[in-house]
Chains A and B, each alone.
Chain A
Amino acid sequence: MQIGPTQDVRGLKLRIGLIAGWLIRMTPPCNQVVKLVSEEMDHPLPLGTKIKVRLHFLICKWCERYREQLIFIRSAMRRHPDKLEGQDQPAAPSPSPEAHERLKQALRQQQKQ
């Protein structure tokens, strides 16, 4: 039997549909995946769990995106803690004038001893 291009596409779609359906049933739902994604940023997941999360990404670009964005936020903060502290901002918080004076006094006293 000769299989034409239309049948090919239809067959392919069916197979993809079946695989996707199987993946949806086999992998944890998104609300669990986001927890595992976070946990994986702190310690390695068991291999089976890790595989399930990766399989989930095949059918859910949102969870994969979620993971990429968490990693982006982490790397931004680790690369630029000074920006988070506001070190480059003249208006960033400073010790009160009284506290500033207390610091000087404490140093003077300690130096005298």
Chain B
Amino acid sequence: MAPEALSDPQGWPDLYGDYLYRFALLRTREASVAEEMVQETFLAALQARGRFAGQSTERSWLVGIMKHKIVDHFRKVKREIPTDDIDRLWTGEDPDGTFDQDGHWKLDQTAPLDWPDNPGGVLEKKQFWDVLKRCLGEMPPRMAQVFTLREVDDVSTEEICEMLKITPSNLWVTLHRARKHLRGCLEAHHFGLRAA
């Protein structure tokens, strides 16, 4: 099979603009940054056109370039407020009172409930993803960035620390809080097992 040729770059914004924008928005959490990432991706792709080997589709080639651009962006951004916005949502050891004074779940209030069977079927439901997106949107942007890098993109914790210039212990705490929030939010709003 002949390698796939690139299409006319003038058509890229119509063909891939939305796709790349959504990809960048999930990861950067900022519309203006996502737009910038799309533009930088297209311009870099234009320059690297000759190196497109046709091994992948045009879109996945562009996504590959965009991933590098997003990493570059994270590296470049100054870290004036490294953890402030994370602490804004959660302060203290157990701010939402999940545990009793001995450190155990409050059985009739906070203990994780049994989610309905067939979790695979859940993944096909639009409502599940809507709630997940909403819960993710409730996180401070910085926490959501860290969480997305780790949980969606499977970036190693060492790389995240290096990229965002944060300490490993800061990263563990951030991820723990993000996971705890998302689980509780899903339980309350999607599975509807307990009022929020």
Contacts and interface: CB of A to CB of B under 8 A. Distances in A.
Nearest to A72: B119
Q: How large is the interface on A (under 10, 10 to 19, 20 to 34, 35 or more residues)?
A: 35 or more
A95 B99 contact: no
B172 interface: yes
A65 interface: yes
A70 B104 contact: no
Interface in A18-50: 28-32, 34-35, 38-39, 41-43
Interface in B33-47: 34-35, 38-39, 42-43, 46-47
Interface string A56-93: 00001011011001101110111111011111010011
The main secondary structure of chain B at its interface with chain A is: helix
Contacts of A84: 26, 129, 132-133, 136, 152
Interface in B127-178: 129, 132-133, 136, 150-154, 157, 171-172, 175-176
A39 B171 CA distance: 10
Contacts, number: 145
A95 B18 contact: yes
A62 B183 contact: no
A1 interface: no
A103 B152 contact: no
B183 A70 contact: yes
Interface stretch (B9-17, B68-76, B77-85): B9-17
A94 to B, nearest CB: 5
A99 interface: yes
A58 to B, nearest CB: 15
A94 B152 contact: no
A74 B155 CA distance: 13
A38 B154 contact: no
A30 B152 contact: no
Given A80-B123, A81-B26, 19 more contacts: A29-B103, A30-B99, A30-B103, A30-B105, A69-B115, A69-B187, A72-B115, A76-B119, A76-B122, A84-B133, A85-B25, A93-B21, A93-B22, A95-B17, A95-B21, A100-B13, A103-B39, A107-B12, A107-B42
9 contacts: A32-B103, A38-B172, A62-B112, A65-B114, A73-B179, A86-B22, A86-B133, A104-B10, A104-B13
